[in-house]
Structure 1
Amino acid sequence: MLMILGLILLFLIMIIGGDRGVISLIALVGNMLLLSLAIWLMAAGAPVLLVTIGMGIIISCVTLFYQNGTNEKTKSAFAAVLITMTVLFFFIYMVVWRSETGGLNEIQAAEDDVLYYNMNLDINMRNVATAVIILSTLGAVLDMALTVTTSVYEVSIHKPEMKLTELVESGMQIGREVIGTTVNTLLFAYLGESLLLFSYLKMQDYTLETLLNSKILFQNCVSMIFGAIACVVVMPVAAVLVGRHLPGYNH
């Protein structure tokens, strides 16, 4: 069934997306291989955070430069993502460290299947939790950064008389228009994935206090929240960077 669905997706991308669709598909496969390589390196004992940073940079390059070419839009988007994720990295690590959110949550630890696996893993679960949040956040940030830089670039072409501050404001306005949709996408992706979990918790009569203080809720929500924060932060960074790098505005 998975192969059939995959073939349907491949067919639709090639027919509807054309050459751009094929390039996007190749980039998607490449990013999946990179994520698989990152998992293998972590399991082999490589430093989790270094692998995460390296793979995050490579995935960003593939997503931006291979799919969209090397130009002022993609260069500015890459720089904005790099700045935003560097700043958020420290906050993400601090939150994971203070909340001790790494490892199995309450339901996973109580499952019978856990008894059949060796849990003596030589890997720092806090670093793994940090890596999961960073890589989960990266996709939404890349999309928002490229949306803003492309918008500012197009406005500058059609209205070259605009000042830098006006260009930046136009990029911010476009970012505000799409931020609601982006946050909704993150929210519904989380809710859809956790629908069965919420039903289970309801049937087990967990109290609201227990749920709010549980590791399982935090693990499921933190990626969504940091993804939304990163999308908001990257908007002004991307707008300013692309405005400064456009011909006639680099002053």
Structure 2
Amino acid sequence: MGAGHSHSHDAPVLGLSATARRVTLGLLLVVAAVTLAGLILLWPTSHPTKDGSSLTAEGVDTVPGRITALTPCEDTGESQGQGPQHACLDAQVTVTGGPSAGRTVPVELIGVSAMSGLKVGDAVNVAEVPGIDGQPSTWAFINTDRTPVLLGFLIVFVAVVIAVAGRKGLFGLLGLIVSGAVLFGFMIPALTSGHPAVAVAIIGSTAIMFVVLYLAHGVSWRTTSAFVGTWLSLLVTTGLGALGVYLSRLSGMSSEETLALAGVLGNLDFPDILTCSLVLGGLGVLNDVTITQASSVWELRAAGPHLTRRELFTSGMRIGRDHIASTIYTIVFAYAGASLSLLLLLSLYNQPLNLLFSTEEFTEEIIRTLGSGIGLVLSVPLTTGVAALTVAGAGGAASRAAASRPRRAL
């Protein structure tokens, strides 16, 4: 009890830097006001693909079913090739929903769908395609019903997060839910409505940061310094991404998905969409780095109340450099893993490296990785600087006395 009593008297009472607090708070209020105004101005008033009618054939409805039989397709002699694209299975599927529930219909599985390891009893989604000119309708395979697997993984994920991180983990999950709401409720509809993609990316990402950081870590100067560092780094990442896309003359239409999207919404600015994807891809890693840096500065202040702000910044940067080294690997391998099939395909091209790297697919990933990486690296000094300015000051006589007092060995 005595030790605890003397500790409370010995600890210096440290004040915040009034100027740094005013500047940071002012910037925070401006960012909040601009974000709110942006949400109002960019809020989607229409969603051209909401009903999906432009993406599906008229009169075709997808219904659930269950495979009751699987047999290899009869060899008609028309295709003697090998590989996944030539695989074929005849399936009998019992429809379990919709007007045709209870019927058993023939469905042909071709190519990738025949190679996915489907077995009798698996749940699938199929669609009845009306015949043309009086011809009978046919049934087509749509996809495997993966809902139970996804729900299972989701339950395990939530349980592990709460078990390990407790209350912090719960608030993190709530932040993730709100982030999903911002993404699917604002950003995607705003993009499909034709609003400027870069503006949508900045406003949406800022709104997500407000919710995620303050909900998961609480309202404090530590969280605010992390927010400011993240926001400044986000602007850098956005600018670098836009510059890289422009200088590289990227169309943003290198994938089948973007080509399909162009067929439905040809008025979209696909280079800007590519920049938006770069911003979103780096947001999560930025949050991780900035909150860690801010916390490091606060812990350094608690351990060394005598340290000047310059010394706090220098010590925080030593920690940040270690974090940078490990996080760069994270971001590079995350993009490499997501694009592994593309990397394998491009590696088979018999071309010089400069031609290979200049393909639009490869250049997109390089710009995405390097742009996010540069923003990530710069987030460390930016956040450390803001944190060093807003953390409690070095104090007066009490702080100097505490600093000069000999410490007992643990």
State TM-score, norm by structure 1: 0.89
Is residue 142 of structure 1 aligned with residue 290 of structure 2? no
Is residue 29 of structure 1 aligned with residue 174 of structure 2? no
Q: Give 1:117 shift.
A: 7.5
Conserved? CA contact 1:171–1:239, under 8 Å: yes
Larger deviation, residues 161-170 vs 9-18:
9-18
Q: Give 1:28 shift.
A: 1.2
Partner of 1:158: 303
Larger deviation, residues 208-217 vs 86-95:
86-95
Q: Give 1:249 shift.
A: 5.1
Partner of 1:248: 393
Q: 1:131 to 1:117 in 2, by over 3 A?
A: closer
Q: Give 1:191 shift.
A: 1.7
1:103-114 equivalent positions in 2, closer than 5 A: 103-105=252-254, 108=255
1:43-58 equivalent positions in 2, closer than 5 A: 43-58=192-207
Q: Give 1:209 shift.
A: 3.4
Partner of 2:189: 40
1:4-153 equivalent positions in 2, closer than 5 A: 4-37=152-185, 38-105=187-254, 108=255, 118=263, 121-153=266-298
- In angstroms, what is the RMSD of aligned CA positions? 2.3
Runs of 4+ in 1 over 3 A off after TM superposition: 113-117, 202-207
Q: 1:219 aligns with which of 349, 355, 364?
A: 364
Q: Give 1:75 shift.
A: 0.7
- Structure of higher RCO (CA pairs closer than 8 Å, 6+ residues apart): 1
Deviation digits for residues 179-237 of structure 1 (CA, Å, limit 9, x no counterpart) = 11101111111221222222222345454333111110111122221222112111111
Instruction: Find the aligned partners of 2:351 and 2:164 in 1 and give their Cα distance.
Output: 47
Instruction: Find the aligned partners of 1:70 and 1:115 in 2 and give their Cα distance.
Output: 43
Instruction: Find the aligned partners of 1:115 and 1:156 in 2 and give their Cα distance.
Output: 54
Q: 1:83 to 1:15 in 2, by over 3 A?
A: closer
Q: 1:36 to 1:115 in 2, by over 3 A?
A: closer
Conserved? CA contact 1:102–1:128, under 8 Å: no
Conserved? CA contact 2:241–2:367, under 8 Å: no
Q: 1:249 to 1:223 in 2, by over 3 A?
A: farther
Counterpart AA for 1:228: G
Unaligned runs of 5+ in 2: 1-148, 396-410
Conserved? CA contact 2:161–2:169, under 8 Å: yes
Instruction: Find the aligned partners of 2:283 and 2:330 in 1 and give their Cα distance.
Output: 14
Instruction: Find the aligned partners of 2:218 and 2:236 in 1 and give their Cα distance.
Output: 26
Alignment coverage as a number of residue pairs:
246
Larger deviation, residues 84-93 vs 156-165:
84-93
Deviation digits for residues 20-59 of structure 1 (CA, Å, limit 9, x no counterpart) = 1111111112112211120111112223222211111111
Instruction: Find the aligned partners of 1:133 and 1:221 in 2 and give their Cα distance.
Output: 11
Conserved? CA contact 2:240–2:371, under 8 Å: no
Q: Give 1:89 shift.
A: 2.8
Deviation digits for residues 157-188 of structure 1 (CA, Å, limit 9, x no counterpart) = 12101111110011101101111110111111
Q: Give 1:119 shift.
A: 5.2
State TM-score, norm by structure 2: 0.56
Identity rate of aligned residues, in percent?
A: 24
> 3-state SS of the aligned residue for 2:339?
helix
Q: 1:117 to 1:157 in 2, by over 3 A?
A: closer
Counterpart AA for 1:155: L
Conserved? CA contact 1:144–1:231, under 8 Å: yes
Structure with the higher helix share, 1 or 2: 1
Conserved? CA contact 1:243–1:249, under 8 Å: no
> 3-state SS of the aligned residue for 1:161?
coil
Larger Rg: 2
Structure with the higher strand share, 1 or 2: 2
Q: Give 1:115 shift.
A: 7.5
Unaligned runs of 5+ in 1: none
